[in-house]
Amino acid sequence: MKKKLLILLSAVMAFSLILSACGGGDTAKPADPGTKVETPAEGENAGGTPAEGELVTEGTIKATDPSKSPANATARKDTVIVGMPAPSGVFHPQYAEIAYDAYVAETLFASILQVQKDGTYAPSLGNYKVSEDKKTLTFTLEDAKFSDGKPVTAEDVAFTFTLYYDKSYDGPTDAYAYAPIVGAKDYKEGKAQSISGIKVIDPKTLEVTLETPSVLSLDVFGTAGIIPKHVYGAAYKPGDLSKMKDTFTTPVGAGPYKLEKWVAGQEVVFKANEHYFKGAPKVPNLIYKVTTEETNMQLVQTGDTDGEVNISASLDNVEAIKALEFADLTLNPTNGYGYIGLNHKDERFKDKKVRQALVYGLQRQEIVDGVYQGLADVVNVPQSKVSWAYTDEVNKYDYDLEKAKALLDEAGWKEGADGIREKDGKKFKITFTASTPNAVNEVLIPIAKENYAKLGIEFVPDQMDFNALQDKVKKGDFEMVFLAVGLTPNPQTAQGTFRTGGNQNDYFFSNARVDELFKLANEEYDLDKRKAYYKEIYQIANEEVAHIYLYQRRDTLTANARVKGFDVSPYKRFTFDTPVIEIQ
C-alpha cells in the first residue's frame, strides 16, 4: 500500500509542480491599483530635471547625491559589480541562448560588427563589403589579438562560421535560414570536407558566398563572437561537437575581458584583457553577480552591486531607485511589444473592417496605463520606436466608439434583439485565449469585455497556463490571443511573423505586398532603401490590422553614480560599454 501511495504521491507532486510553476509570457509586475496614474511626459528627458509631479518615463534619471553611495561600494576602487539573473554556464558565443549567457559571451568575445543604439551595425573587429550581385560578402579584419596574445586571423573567422553549419550544432542560431552559404548543405551532409562558400583570401580577409542575397546573414556573421581556432580547434570534429561543450567554462576570446572564474549560480569574475584591440578596459576587475528579482534592488542599496540590469520598470521601483539618490536610472523602451493576435483564418476576422473596428473600439491607452502606470506606450506598428526603421506615419487608431460601430455596420454585423451583433444568423462572440497569471490580462480582460459589449460583441476569456496557450496558438486553435514578442536589431526578422507561411506566423496573416517587400528588403544592403521598404510594411501591417498592437513597456539599467560611462539602448546592451566605463 505504502509503495503505491508513494508512486501516486510522487506523481502528484511532480504534476503539481508543473502546474504551479509555469510563468506567463510577460514578466510584468501587477499594477498597484491605488497608485495615481500620471500622464507620461512627452519627448526626450535624457539627463534633464523634470518639472514637479511630472513622470519621467524615458531616458536617464541622474543621481541627485552621488556622495550617498554606500561605503563598501565606494571602497571598491578597481572593481565594478553588475547584478543580473543567473547565467547557466554556456559561455560560448555560438551556443549562448539565454540573455545572461549572451551577456557573458559578449564580454569575452568580439565580433566583426557591433550593434549601435538605433539597431544599425557598425564596424568593430572588422568590416564588410558586398559584391555587385549582393551574394558575396568580403570581411576584413582589424589588427587584433585574443586574450592569450595570439592574433585574430581569417582562419579563426572561417572556423567560427563553419561551426554554425555543422550537423551536430545545436545552438540557437538558424544559420542556414539566415545565411545560406554555398556548399553548406554538402558540408552538413558530410559530402564535403569544408564549406566551399567560405574562402580565406589572406590572414586578414575572408570571403563568404551565399546562394541568395540575404541581409539577415549580417546577423549571423556580423555578430558572431569570433573563437580562436588554435584553442577550440581540438574540440571540433566535423559532425561531432560534443567536446565543444567541455569548453564552455574555459572561454578564450578577443573581447574586452577574460574569464577569471565562474561560480555557478553566484558570480562570473572577469579580468581586463590587456590585449583588447580597442585598448585595455579602464576597470581592471569586472564581476557579474547573480541576483534575483526579490532582492536585486536591496543589493544596489547596500552597495553589494554597482549596477543592476533586471529591476522591473514599475512605478514603485522607479520611485525606490530615485530615493536611493546615488544611482543613475536609465529607462529604455523594452525591445519588444505586446499585442493581441487575431486568427486571420477566422471568417469574421477576414474582413478588414471588423479588424479595424476591434482596434477603434478598444481603450488601449487605459489598458496600458492601468498595467504600467505611464511606463509604457501604446504602439501602432510592430517596431520599437528607437529602431532606425521605425515610422509613426501610420493610423493612430485612437479610441472611437462611433467609428467602430459604423465599421461593423458596414461589414454587415447588425445588432440583434439582445444587443449582440449578428450576421447570417451567427452571433458575434469572441473567445479570448489568455495566459494566467499575467498582469496585462488582469487589466485587459475587464476593459475589453466592457468595450466590446458596447460594440455589441460578446467577449469571453479562456485563461490557461502559458505553455498550454503557446501550444494552442502553434496549432492554430484560437480566435484571439494576448502575447508579447521580442525584437531584434535587424527589422528583417519580422518576416517570420508577417510573411505568408513565416515560422512565427501562427495567425495566418497573408499580404502579397508585404511578402514582396520583405523579399526586396532582404536583398538590399542600403539602409535608406531598406528603410523605405520597412516603412511600407509597417504601414500595411497597421492599416490591415495584422495584429492589434498594444504596448511597448520599459527596461531599466540602474548604476551607482560612481561608475560612469554606461550609454545603453534596447539594442546596445551594457556589455558593449564594459571597455569604456570608469570608476570615479
Partner 1 sequence: MTTQVIRRLLQTIPTLIGVSIVLVLIFHLIPGNFVDSNPTISKERAAELKEMYGLTDPVHIKYLKWVKGVSTGDLGYSIQHKQPVTTIIDRYVWNSVLIAGVVLIFSWTIAIFVGVFSAVRQHSFYDGLITFLVFAVMSLPSFFIGLLAIKFFAVDNRIFPVGGMITTGANYEGWAHIWDVIEHMFLPVIVLTALNVGGLTRYFRTSMLDVIKQDFIRTARAKGLKERTVIFKHALRNALIPAITLLGFEIPGLFAGAMITEKIFNWPGIGSIFLNAINARDYFLMLGYTFFIAFLTIIGNVIADLLYRVADPRVRMK
Cβ contacts of 536 within 8 Å, gap of 6 or more: 513, 517
State in angstroms the smallest separation of the CB of 220 from partner 1.
10
Nearest to 265 by CA among 35, 88, 77, 522: 88
Look at residues 439, 409, 438, 412 and name the one whose alpha carbon lies nearest to residue 425: 412
Residue type present at position 483: L
Q: Using CB under 8 A, pick the residue from 37, 41, 68, 88 that binds partner 1.
A: 88
Q: Which residues contact 37 (CB under 8 A, 6 or more apart)?
A: 369, 370, 373, 374
Q: Is 267 in the site for partner 1 (CB under 8 A)?
A: yes
Residue 554 C-beta: closest distance to partner 1, Å:
21
CB of 86 to partner 1, least distance (A): 7
CA-to-CA distance for 348 and 353, rounded, in angstroms? 10
By CB under 8 A, name the one of 147, 209, 273, 305 that touches partner 1.
Answer: 305
Question: Of 91 and 538, which CB lies nearer to partner 1 in the complex structure?
Answer: 91
Within positions 480 to 509, which residues make up the interface with partner 1, using CB under 8 A?
A: 485-486, 488, 493, 496, 503-504
Which residues in the 330-389 window bind partner 1 by CB under 8 A?
Answer: none
Residue 424 beta carbon to partner 1: minimum distance, rounded to whole angstroms: 34
H runs (alpha helix) in 206-334: 217-221, 229-232, 296-301, 315-324
Q: Please report how close the Cβ of residue 277 comes to partner 1 at its closest, in angstroms.
A: 27
Distances (CA, A) of 155 to 90, 378, 437, 534: 24, 48, 50, 36
Cβ proximity to partner 1, 59 vs 502, nearer residue: 502
CB of 60 or CB of 94, closer to partner 1: 94
Instruction: Give the interface size with partner 1 as a residue count (CB under 8 A).
Output: 64
Strand residue runs (E) in 235-392: 257-263, 267-272, 285-290, 307-308, 327-333, 336-342, 376-378
**Minimum CB separation from partner 1 for residue 422, in Å?**
34
Instruction: Name which of 202 and 240 has its Cβ closer to partner 1.
Output: 240
Contact between 35 and partner 1 per CB under 8 A: no
d(C-alpha 304, C-alpha 81), whole Å: 8
Query: Does position 3 bind partner 1 by CB under 8 A?
Result: yes
Q: How far is the CB of 384 from partner 1 (least distance, A)?
A: 15
Closest CA to 313 of 67, 555, 558, 59: 555
CB of 457 to partner 1, least distance (A): 29
The three-state secondary structure class of 113 is strand
Choices 195-203, 281-289, 429-437, 523-531; region in contact with partner 1 by CB under 8 A = 281-289
Interface positions, 176-195, toward partner 1 (CB under 8 A) = 176-177
Nearest CA-CA partner of 107 in 237, 268, 333:
268
Residue 58 or 101 having the CB closest to partner 1: 101
Residues 6+ apart with CB under 8 A from 269: 259, 260, 261, 262, 263, 285, 286, 287
Residue 505's identity, in one-letter code, is N
Centre a 10 Å sphere on the Cβ of residue 250 and count the other Cβ atoms it contains: 11
Least separation, in Å, of the C-beta of 188 and partner 1?
A: 10
Binding site for partner 1 (CB under 8 A): 2-3, 6-7, 10-11, 14-15, 17-18, 21-23, 76, 79, 81, 86, 88-90, 95, 97-98, 168, 170, 172-174, 176-177, 245, 248, 263-267, 269, 285, 287, 289-292, 294-295, 298-299, 301-302, 304-305, 467-468, 470-471, 474, 485-486, 488, 493, 496, 503-504
